[in-house]
Amino acid sequence: MPYILYYTLTMGVFVDNSLHWIMTPKLDGLQPCLIVAFNLSLEIFNEVPLPDEIKGEQVNSEGDSFKIAVAVLGGCLCLTMNY
């Protein structure tokens, strides 16, 4: 898998038969964060697109404009932002 967990102390969030995490594609922390899902039935990983409102914003390690996390809200995947 070409990703690493961005927040290592968090567990995956279970929604629609998939576990979801915030990950980054590189170890250097310079790449933007993204949401990765592991489908338990198909046993495959997928990238979940970020909302259009935050695409292009700085969502990475040092110098963050904000940090993102995933959660479950009403049975749906929820993205939280901490400025």
Number of domains in the chain: 1
What integer is the mean pLDDT of 3-9? 68
Quote the pLDDT of residue 37: 94
Element (H, E) at 82: strand 76-82
More confident residue, 27 or 79: 79
What are the pLDDT digits (tens) for 20-77?
Answer: 998 887 766 566 778 899 999 999 999 988 887 776 555 544 555 677 889 999 999 9
pLDDT for 49: 85
* pLDDT confidence of residue 60: 47
Q: How much is the pTM?
A: 0.75
Q: How far is CA 26 from CA 46, 62, 72, 75, in A?
A: 16, 14, 26, 30
Domain that holds residue 65: 4-82
The pLDDT value given to residue 44:
95
